[in-house]
Every structure is written in C-alpha cells, then in structure tokens.
C-alpha cells in the first residue's frame, strides 16, 4: 500500500493531502489558485497518482506560502509512500513536448535532495499565478521527497506551455521511477544497501 496522508497547519496555511502512488490519476485539488490547481491535476494525471488536496492559505498576502507549503506536504507524502524504496526503478528521464515548448526531466530517487532547474519563463504571471513560484514549489517538493531532479527547458516561448510541460514531464518521470521493477523486487536499488 504505497500511499500517505499529510496534514500541516501553520499560521500561514492549513493543508490536508492524500497521495496514492499506484493509482489512476484521479484527483481533486483545491490550492487556492486556479492555475496551480490545473498544474497539480496534470502532475497527478500524467503520473497516474491519486491526489486529494485541500489548502487554505494567506492569499491576502500572496500565493508564496501556499505554493511552498503544498510542495512541502506533497514531497513529504511522496517520501512516506515510497518507504525504503525496495524494488523501485529509481531512475527515469523524459523529454516532453508541449506545443512549442520542449522540457527535459531526469529524476533519481537517491535519498538526497537536489534541484537543478533551468527554465526561462517569459511572463511574470500566468492567470493568478506568479511564475517564479514554479521553482519554489519544486525546491520544497525535492527537499521533502529526498530526490534529485534535473529539469531543463530546451525550447519554448509561451509561459503557460512551459510550466504545463514541466508538471506533465515531472509526473511522467516520477511515475516511471517509482515503478516496481520485477527483476529487482524487494531489492534496494543501490550498492550501498540504502538510499540516503
């Protein structure tokens, strides 16, 4: 049962989240931002992760706290659902086109958090969403999920397409990385015997 439930309440946000890794992509997301809801739904659908998310945040300030805290909760849930990583494929990489945008994503469920994010998003805002928050979300997610993520924009001019490509490609790459490899079932995919 590779799933997790997280609740996190601070003076800035109140978040309830449930995640099932071996799902079908069913999701109900209410982050407080319509655009971010769309991106998280794409991540879940393309990763085939079942995701339930409810966030009440201090949007009277801005979206930063909510987006970052959702990244923290989603990363924590992802790590908890994976457990000790026995039998997973561990690595995955994908290049995904989204119209004129082309995004590369490579992941390693290494047990060590690292983000190398190279995006050139032209607009400061898409809908109600500050585009600089894409990196803030990814940083928070990677730190709590304990994984290595490289994401590159190889082409793209439309800010919506670039960001959408990022969430789709991340979902698909993670879906492959978390798959149980039948040739290595029960094994830790590391010569160290532990991923950390």
Phi and psi, residue 82, nearest 5°: -75, -25
Residue 142 has pLDDT above 90, yes or no: yes
User: What pLDDT does residue 104 have?
Assistant: 98
User: Taking 90 as the threshold, does the pLDDT of residue 60 lie above it?
Assistant: no
pLDDT 10s digits, 85-103: 888 999 999 999 999 999 9
Average pLDDT taken over every residue of the chain = 94
DSSP string, 110-157: -SS-EEEEE-----SEETTEETTHHHHHHHHHHHHHT-EEEEEEEE--
Give me the pLDDT at residue 61, please: 86
Q: 135, 68 in Cβ contact below 8 A?
A: no
Report domain 3-184's class: alpha beta
Calpha distance 126→134 (Å, rounded): 11
| Largest pairwise CA distance in the chain | 51
For residue range 147-173, list pLDDT tens digits in order.
999 999 999 999 999 999 999 999 999
Does the pLDDT value for residue 134 go beyond 70? yes
Nearest to 159 by CA among 125, 104, 102, 121: 121
d(CA 69, CA 78): 14
Quick one: pLDDT at residue 135?
A: 98
Percent of the chain predicted with pLDDT > 70: 95
- pLDDT for the residue numbered 98: 97
Domain boundaries, the chain: 3-184
Helix (H, G, I), strand (E, B) or coil at 105: strand
Summarised one tens digit per residue, pLDDT across range 168-187 is 999 999 999 999 989 887 77
Query: Which pLDDT value is given to residue 194?
Result: 66
């Amino acid at each position: 049962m590779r799933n997790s439930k997280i609740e996190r309440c601070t003076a800035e946000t109140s978040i309830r989240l449930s995640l099932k890794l071996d799902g079908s992509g069913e999701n109900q997301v209410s982050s407080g931002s319509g655009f971010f809801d769309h991106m998280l739904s794409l991540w879940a659908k393309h990763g085939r992760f079942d995701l339930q998310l409810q966030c009440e945040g201090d949007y009277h300030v801005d979206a930063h706290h909510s987006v970052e805290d959702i990244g923290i909760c989603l990363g924590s849930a992802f790590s908890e659902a994976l457990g000790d990583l026995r039998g997973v494929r561990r690595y995955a990489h994908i290049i995904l086109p989204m119209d004129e945008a082309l995004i590369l994503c490579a992941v390693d469920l290494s047990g060590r958090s690292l983000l190398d994010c190279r995006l050139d998003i032209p607009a400061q805002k898409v809908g109600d969403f500050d585009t600089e928050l894409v990196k803030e979300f990814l940083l928070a997610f990677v730190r709590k999920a304990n994984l290595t993520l490289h994401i590159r924009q190889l082409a793209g001019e439309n800010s919506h397409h670039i960001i959408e490509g990022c969430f789709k490609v991340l979902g698909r790459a993670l879906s492959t990385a978390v798959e149980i490899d039948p040739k290595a079932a029960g094994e830790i995919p590391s010569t160290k015997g532990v991923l950390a």
